[in-house]
Structure formats: structure tokens, C-alpha cells
Amino acid sequence: MDLIVIGKIVNTHGLNGTLKVKSFTDFKEQRYHKGAPLYIAFERDYISVTVKSHKEVKSLDLLAFDEFDNINQVEKFKGCDLVINKELIHKLDNDEFYFGQIIGREVYHDDKLIGKCIDIRDYPQGEVLVVKTKEKEVLIPFRKEFVKEVNKKDNKLNIIMWEGLL
């Protein structure tokens, strides 16, 4: 089964089994509608779930599933990824990507390895790449001024070096 990460479960909400999810999808209406099939990546396995309800609160999504009705059943899912079957993804333009296609790629500047993209954070100003170098983690805006190319063939990111960036 080929799956794509669309969110991360960050916490529980209330006592009825509702989960707080940090979403990575721009298609929330289609992903989280009542009856939508999703999977929770848990301990090297995928647990099939069906959306019971969805509500947006600030920058998080509150999701309840038909399979769970109390906090004790879902606490173990904190930190787990929420995924969908790859067949359900939308076709994106050439310069658009799913977060899961970026996280894990090596980051280069002029063929010199800088580090590896370990996360993408979504801020009001835009997405920011979290790149783990040998010494530290650095934040690089995911914008054309900083990211020269996302090379799908070689599975790497090429950045434009700015003074003070690293």
C-alpha cells in the first residue's frame, strides 16, 4: 500500500476520542469530510479509520473517528502521522509539492551537501524548511528566493546561499 502523509497528530482534545491534527493538506474539505477513509501510522502498522467529524480551530484540525469514542483509545496516537492512500491525492502543478515529497530530501548548494530537510513548518508568512546540518538545525524559507530547485529525479533540494542563512 502506497501512502502519503497529510498530517501529524499532536494531541488529544476532550474525553471523547477527538484528536488535534497539524494538517499538511490544502484539501481539508475532501480529506476530512464525514466518512472519509484515512490511516494512522502507528508502530510500523497502519490503522484504518473513518472520519466522524472535523472542525478547524486556529491552526489545528480536530478530528473524531468512528472507531474511537474515548481518550484512552487515542492517547497512544500522539506524534503519529495521518496518511491517505496515494491514489486519492490531487494532481499538482510542476512547482507544487506535498510536504511528504520534500521531507527527507538532501539539501545542496552548488553540489555541496548542506544537510537534510527534516520538517516543514507552516507560518503565516509561508512555509519554512527545517534543515539538519552537521552542527545544528537551520530554518530556510521555502520560497523561490531561497530554494533554487526541487530536483525530483535526484531527490534533492538546491538552495541559493544568502549571507547569514546558515
Domain ranges for the chain, please list them. 3-87, 99-159
Q: In sequence order, what are the residues at sequence separation of 6 or more whose Cβ sits closer than 8 angstroms to the Cβ of residue 29? A: none
Model's pTM, two decimal places?
0.64
Most distant CA atoms of the chain, gap in Å:
52
By C-alpha distance, which of 63, 137, 62, 66 is closest to 107? 137
We find that the CATH architecture of domain 99-159 is: Roll (2.30)
pLDDT digits (tens, 9 = 90+) for 61-89: 999 999 999 999 999 999 999 988 877 76
Strand order in the sheet with 156-159: 137-141, 126-132, 112-123, 106-109, 156-159, 147-151
CATH value of 3-87 in 2.40.30.60, 1.10.3720.10, 1.10.10.10, 3.40.50.720? 2.40.30.60
pLDDT digits (tens, 9 = 90+) for 133-144: 888 898 988 888
Main-chain dihedrals φ then ψ at residue 62, nearest 5 degrees: -100, 120
Q: In sequence order, what are the residues at sequence separation of 6 or more whose Cβ sits closer than 8 angstroms to the Cβ of residue 56? A: 28, 62
Residue 165 pLDDT exceeds 80: no
